[in-house]
Amino acid sequence: MSEYRIEHDSMGEVPVPSHRYWGAQTQRSLQNFHIGWETMPAELIYALALLKKGAAMANLRLGKLDQDRFDAISAACGELLAGKLEGNFPLSVWQTGSGTQSNMNVNEVIARRGNEIAGEALLHPNDHVNMSQSSNDVFPSAMHLSAVLILKEHLFPALDGILATLRRLEEENAHVVKSGRTHLQDAVPITLGQEISGWRASLDQDRDMLHAALPHLSTLSLGGTAVGTGLNAPKGFDREAARAVSELSGHSFETAPNKFHALTSRDELVFAHGALKALAGDLMKIANDVRWLSSGPRCGLGELHIPENEPGSSIMPGKVNPTQCEAVTMAAVQVMGNDATLGFAASQGNFELNVFLPVIAYNFLQSAVLLTDCIASFDKNCLAGLTADQEKCRENLYNSLMLVTALNPYIGYEKAAQTAQLAHREGLSLREACIRLGFLTGEEFDRVFHPEEMAGL
């Protein structure tokens, strides 16, 4: 068999590797865009395949596509969705800003494989697989569809898992009293459960904010075709296509009410990625808290024990590092950088089309994947095995000069400050300093000084 076959498009003939299903337009893109190593995310290709099958269903129902061609498209899409056509989607993110070349990549693969399944040349990539569509409405629809799928089917389950772990830790440590800290300095007491409840509430709220973005992402621009007018799409195609995509995906989608907005504005993804950035910020805070609180084991705060997953140093024997925390924080800063890229790109909708679509899709999906994976890893390999060093918590608590705050109602702010300053200066306990200054007797001090009660227990 020849190593290449000859394919043609409107510009002429192109040699294409014989073992691949793509056609001339995909090959031209491969030849013309040797830029970077980033290729179109698999999640986006999956969404494009769902849309192609949904569009074919709509065209069949509206009498535009015959049953045989629908069956061929449906069979090829089924294989693509099942992962059987991997290796046929090689195109760079850094291509045409409309995503046309990736849309055609999917069209060509479906057409050639569909014809192979049918045993005859039924399908043309433009005339049948791309029927009633334009890259300009398909690619934005794929961006929304892939965003909804990754949030609902991957990120939310990961969030549910880590939230369950945090609720367990919150309950288990409800009576472990420790020193609070503000400005990286000692503060009044808090329970470890209360501290963890702050982490849990942050992620709960992030989940709510992501949910708030779903209605906006659940709109499809299909039916707008090239500029939003719906040219070459039959009446009702937009609603029928949204209905078909809903059936195929198991999630509810509607046609975008204004196709001119749907083609040129990416504000829905900006809004949703803002919630991803908020989640990244909270994960950064939680991971930093965990690694500070577990610092040591002898020369740090040492209030938490983290699981000992792997050696931490190539030179220092026995060292254990907070590596899961570090992975989370690196992912978080990547998401924050992605947010800047996505925001700039989304602002560049000129006239009837935004032509920064691939980079927006790539950054959104990378952020969602990174957050999903690092949440699952952080939960499984760190938080699930987190334990409190109660002795160290109590030691730090009773060593804190800010316990003097409990004396404010009895001796006043200024005398309490003098007590803390003397204790710090001369290495005394608060009790010793207060008695030396004559502010309280030992019996009076013991009656009003109860650090555990300061945490609300």
How many alpha carbons lie under 13 Å from residue 250 in its C-beta half-sphere?
A: 3
Is 294 designated active site? no
263 and 140 Cβ atoms separated by less than 8 Å? yes
Sequence-ordered list of residues with C-beta below 8 angstroms from that of 13, at least 6 positions apart, any chain: 6, 7, 24
Cβ atoms 238, 230 nearer than 8 A: yes
Residue pointed to by tokens 């999917």: 106
Place of tokens 């699952």: 376
* Buried b / exposed e along 185-202 (16+ C-beta atoms within 10 A): ebebbbbbbbbbbebbeb
DSSP character at residue 182: E
Total count of residues recorded for the chain = 457
What is the C-alpha separation between 347 and 336, in angstroms, rounded?
17
Q: Using CA atoms in the order 405, 411, 414, 416, what is the torsion angle rounded to 10 degrees?
A: -40
DSSP 57-97: HHHHHTTSS-HHHHHHHHHHHHHHHTTTTTTS---BSSS-T
Instruction: Kindly name the residue from 10, 34, 183, 314 that is annotated as catalytic.
Output: 183
The answer to whether residue 211 is catalytic is no
CA distances in angstroms from 240 to 60, 71, 198, listed in the order given: 10, 18, 45
CB-based contact 364:272 (threshold 8 Å): yes
Spatial separation of the C-alpha atoms in residues 63 and 386, rounded to whole Å: 60
Catalytic residue among 8, 18, 211, 313: 313
Burial of 425 (0-12, 13-18, 19+ CB in 10 A): exposed
Q: Which residues contact 195 (CB under 8 A, 6 or more apart)?
A: 178, 180, 289
CA 452 to mean position of chain CA atoms:
39
Q: Are 457 and 191 in contact (CB under 8 A)?
A: yes
The gap between the terminal CA atoms of the chain, to the nearest Å, is 79
> Using CB atoms within 10 A of its CB, is residue 3 exposed (0-12), middle (13-18) or buried (19+)?
exposed
Please report the beta strands in 151-276, taking only residues with DSSP state E, as ranges in sequence order. 177-182, 185-191, 219-220, 254-255
By annotation, the residues acting in catalysis are 183, 313
